[in-house]
Every structure is written in C-alpha cells, then in structure tokens.
Amino acid sequence: MHLARRLDLRLLSSLEILLETRSVSRAADRLGVSQPAMSRILARLRDQLDDPLLVRGRGGMVLTPRAEALAGPLKGWLSQGEAMLRPAAFDPASLDRTFRIASTDFGILSVIRPVAPALAEAAPGASMEIEALSANSLRRLAEGRLDLVVIGYPPEGNGVRFRKLFTESRLGLMRRGHPASAVALTPDNLFDWPHVTALVGDGFSDPLEHLAGEGQGRKVLMAAPSFASVPFMVADTDALAILPSKAARHFARVYDLDTFEPPIPLPTFDYYVAWHDRSLADRATQWLAEEMADSVAAFEERKRQAVVRPPRMPATPPPIGLLAATAR
C-alpha cells in the first residue's frame, strides 16, 4: 500500500505537533492525550516513515534530517488540506441555480410571493420552479427531486424537517352588493346561498364539508381546483366562499369583493416549509428556507403597521363675528 494511503490526516497533524514541540510530553499536552498514547503515535509514525524522526541530543530531543526536511512542507500541506475541506463561504449572489418547490397557489401567494423580492435582489442568478403540491410531494422531496415543500399541514416522513411559518385563519368572500351583506350572517342562514370551495392538494379539505352531513342543506356551486379560480365565480354569482384569510383579503382587494367573518367557529391551520435531511449540507436550500421565514414575518409586520389612519378633520372655523372683526 502507498505511504500516502497509510497516513491519515489525524496522524499527520500529530506529526506536525511533534516536530514543532520536539517533545512527546508537550505534544501530548497540545493534543489533549496521555503521554503513553503520544508515544504510541510516535512509534506508528516511525514505523510508517521508516525514520526515528526524534532522537536524543545534548539539549533534549532533536529532529533527524528526514524530520527537518518534512517540517516545512508538512505544515503547508496540512494548511492546504484544511482549506480544501473547509466549506466555502456561502454567497447568494454567486448562485446559478433553480430551486424546485412544491406548493399550492395559496403557498405562492403567502410564502413565495413575499420571498421573491429578496431572492431576486440577493441571488439574481437563482430562480424558483413551482410544481403543484400533491400526495407525492414529500416522497419527491426525500428522493431529491424537490428542494422544498410549502405545505399547510405538519409534514411527515423519514428525514423530513420543517419550520412553521405562520398560523392562518379563515375569512368569507362575497361579491359587492350581495344580499347577505344586508343581513347578519348566522349558522342558519349561511347556507341560504350556494358556496364555492377550493380543494387544493393533498391534505387540504373544505372547512365546511362536515356540516353537509348535519342537515344543513348546503349547495356547492363549484369545487375549484385552485384558490385563484374562486373569486371569478364569487364575483359573478351569489355564491359565498370561505378561504384562508390572506387569500380572501387579497382577492377582495384585487377583484373589488367584500369579506365577512364566518358565523361558524372554524379551526386555524399552520403553514410550513419542509426540506429533507439530504439538504442539511446544502447551504443554498437552507438559506432559501430561512429567507422564506424572514420574508413572511416581515411581510406580516408591514401589513400590521399599514393601519389606515383616520382622516384629518378640518380645523374648527372661527366664529363668524371674529371673522368680520378681522376683516375690518
């Protein structure tokens, strides 16, 4: 076997300390091992290099000519090897890559949309390729065919890791001038009008579906394949929709619709970004997941601060008599 294959990095590091200290005891102290253990290391080095390396001289241990010749090159080689094995500094600006992400259109609205400006600014050479969330998304994540999954229920699976991004509530959506806007919605009259639902991806269900089996007589006008198709049906019909609050508020603003608080208590749900253990050393994927969390938090904070200020009331005009006196 070649000599280079018999000498591992730890053994060469020990040799460097031995040549520098010229003492088994001092080398043992530097490396945090016992003196007998250090003596065994020196014996191995002597055997593999076929040289005594350290011998007794007048003032103590001295280096052999072979050891003297090794000292300088060994230090340089170890420094180069350490630099080669050390992870390179991560710079998003140098990325030239497409991140593969599974998400619903609500995930695009609530997570991908907020992070897009940060990605475009910090990593102009990077892009995102979004595929529809499905029952296979977490398996594809484990297989390395996806980098991240943005999902509205706790992701499960061997090696799957995740971070919670936010907790979401539900909000109703209706057209402007809807008859329901003139009455107080109750659990009884909520089903006097048809509904539009969104069944998007595995794990997302209609939040009112369970009421259909409780004698509520609910009519579903359309079960949409995406959240984005709901406002078109709501805008042109008397149908109502119950959506994630972020989606309902966005559609109301963009399509000039009205929102309403559901008269029935509905559970909230958490939203997550998930990755796999195989990506733990992928600094780019870890960076993007962190950016998603930061961008969503910053986006929510900006919305909280964007409170509509009450209009400024005009100053109270002075009494007419005072105006007349001023005019004179």
Domains of the chain, by residue range, sit at 3-85, 95-167+271-305, 170-267
For the chain, what is the mean pLDDT? 85
Q: What whole-number distance in Å separates Cα of residue 320 and Cα of residue 154?
A: 69
**How much is the pLDDT for 271?**
94
| Residue pLDDT, tens place only, 28-73 | 888 888 888 889 988 998 888 888 888 888 777 888 889 888 888 8
126 closest CA partner among 303, 296, 287:
287
Q: For strand 148-151 and strand 269-276, is the pairing parallel, antiparallel, or unpaired?
A: antiparallel
3-state secondary structure of 56: strand
CATH number at 3-85? 1.10.10.10
Distances, alpha carbon 266 to alpha carbons 67, 187, 211, 256, 260, in Å:
77, 12, 11, 25, 13
How many other CB atoms are there within 10 angstroms of residue 178's CB atom? 19
| Residue pLDDT, tens place only, 152-210 | 988 988 889 999 999 999 999 999 999 999 999 998 899 999 999 988 765 566 778 76
Q: Is 229 exposed, middle or buried (0-12, 13-18, 19+ CB in 10 A)?
A: middle
- Band of pLDDT at residue 232, cut at 50, 70 and 90: very high
Greatest Cα pair distance, the chain, in angstroms, is: 117
Amino acid at 45: L
3-state secondary structure of 219: coil
HSE of 66, CA atoms in CB hemisphere, 13 A: 11
**How much is the pLDDT for 1?**
42
Q: Which comes out higher in pLDDT, residue 102 or 307?
A: 102
| Strand stretches in 17-86, DSSP E | 54-57, 60-63
Fold of 95-167+271-305: D-Maltodextrin-Binding Protein; domain 2 (3.40.190)
Same topology between domain 95-167+271-305 and domain 170-267: yes
Q: Which comes out higher in pLDDT, residue 8 or 52?
A: 52
Identify the weakest region by mean pLDDT among 34-38, 84-88, 307-311.
307-311
3-state secondary structure of 291: helix
Order across the sheet with 195-198: list the strands: 220-224, 195-198, 240-244, 170-174, 258-260
CATH class for the region spanning 170-267 = alpha beta
| Strand stretches in 38-125, DSSP E | 54-57, 60-63, 97-103
End-to-end CA distance of the chain: 114
pTM equals 0.68
| Residue pLDDT, tens place only, 284-305 | 999 999 999 999 999 878 777 7
